[in-house]
Amino acid sequence: MPKRFTRRSILQALGVAGSLSAVARPAVIGSPLDQDASSNPLAEELAKILAGQNETWRGSPLGNQYPFIKKIQQEAPQSLAFLNRRPRHLEAWKAEARAKIFELLLYRPKRCSPQAHIVERVDKGDYIREYLRFHTTPDIEVPAYFLIPKRTKMPVPAVVALHDHGGFYYWGKEKLIEMENENPALTGYRQEYYDGLSFPITLARHGYAVIVIDMFYFGERRLILDADLREGLNARPKMESAETVDRINRRNGQVECWVDRCVQHAGFTWGGVLCWDDIRTIDYLTTRPEVDMKRIACAGLSVGGWRSNFLAGLDPRIKAACIAGWMTSFRQIVPWFVSYTIPAGNVPGLFNYLDYPDVGSLIMPGALMVVHGLRDALFPPDGVTAAFRNLTSCYEAIGKPERFTTYRYDGPHKFPAQAQQLMLEWFNRWV
């Protein structure tokens, strides 16, 4: 059974000091304990957990199904985890673990030429912004923005920037790339989750080439129905009202589980599509003479953090990664935090072999930075702590403790400005 929450453990979890190893350590402003529950969603969640401790199924949303699910989960051996294997040959272990993940993802099409074509090229002063499309399979064409720094010697390091979920399906790559005359709903979203900053543009201004694609089911790849075409809604270049955008986002959220069930019945996984598209994005970078392929990194928030974790783990071309708002052991997700097990993050059978931090450990000896908010209600504090402990032990075991760092800040689920600055410094050091 997971560790029992007490009032003391809850207060300790909420009062953890911000920490940062290997880069300058900032002060954590304020204390979560000074916040009202209404301004601290994690405090609200943990209070509910505490209140349900004496109930039959401990207040779990899984109800009477919880004991059965938890028992099976507890029996999972995680046989490929680095700390269980303690492999003598790092590369051989990584090859075996990666092969198993690809097997479980059930989606690995044959590689094809990207057949890329640039639709638009805009000079932004200190960088060039290209809007382009390239193939990840013979049948799937993915839209992307590619930022090329100016006034720097080529080739340059590159970053694959991976956008979030957020229940905000109308846009994908535009969540990260600030555009001219953009919809106010998009500007407000970026303000809430990124402190109003476009971190790919920041990276481009500091000499990095940056690519951002629309992930499956988001942006130009979002769900569009026949009714939308009849009504003239849900069209990319149109300036929709905030009400229309909200309505489309809600509908796409309601249908998401239907799409996932159909995907699985069709014989593949949602996560497999995400991983494959992100790997093929690196393949596209190999065609760009501006990019130094020996210096590639990735970064993302929320499901973008999930994507960063898997991309860094699966593709040896990634030399450094920054994962924001997505790092936990899955063991602590059950029984209370199950509402955030979104379809995109489901890899059936993975837990028998690897936990989420174990996937991230496959980047070793590459550099890994993880960002987490002390008021982030998506993940249990025990799960986050366990993941950090796991990764710390992995890097210590290979004699490279300086290549793993965490930054914990007093705030909710987001990628704050200070974390973005530390990510830049991290990439400057390791990429």
Return the residue matching tokens 């496959």.
362
Integer Cα distance of 384 and 158 in angstroms: 29
Q: Are strands 127-135 and 117-123 parallel, antiparallel or unpaired?
A: antiparallel
The 3-state DSSP class for residue 396 equals helix
Predicted local distance difference test score (pLDDT) of residue 235: 65
CB 286 within 8 A of CB 323: no
E-assigned strands of 179-314? 209-213, 291-301
25 phi-psi bin (left φ>0, alpha ψ -120 to 50, beta other) = beta
Q: Across the beta sheet with 367-373, what order do the strands follow? A: 117-123, 127-135, 141-149, 209-213, 156-162, 291-301, 318-324, 367-373, 404-409
pLDDT score recorded for residue 237: 60
Mean pLDDT of the 223-239 span: 78
Stretch among 18-22, 39-43, 418-422 having the lowest mean pLDDT = 18-22
- Banded pLDDT at 165 (limits 50, 70, 90): very high
Mean pLDDT score, 319-323: 98
Reported as a pLDDT band with limits 50, 70 and 90, residue 341 is low
The CATH number of the structural domain formed by 32-431 is 3.40.50.1820
Place 359 in a pLDDT band, splitting at 50, 70 and 90: very high
What is the DSSP secondary structure assignment for residue 268, as one 8-state letter? Answer: -
Per residue in 104-139, pLDDT (tens digit) is 999 999 889 999 999 999 999 999 999 999 999 999
Largest separation between any pair of C-alpha atoms in the chain: 65
How far is residue 322 from each of residues 89, 148, 242, 419, measured CA to CA in Å? Answer: 25, 20, 31, 10
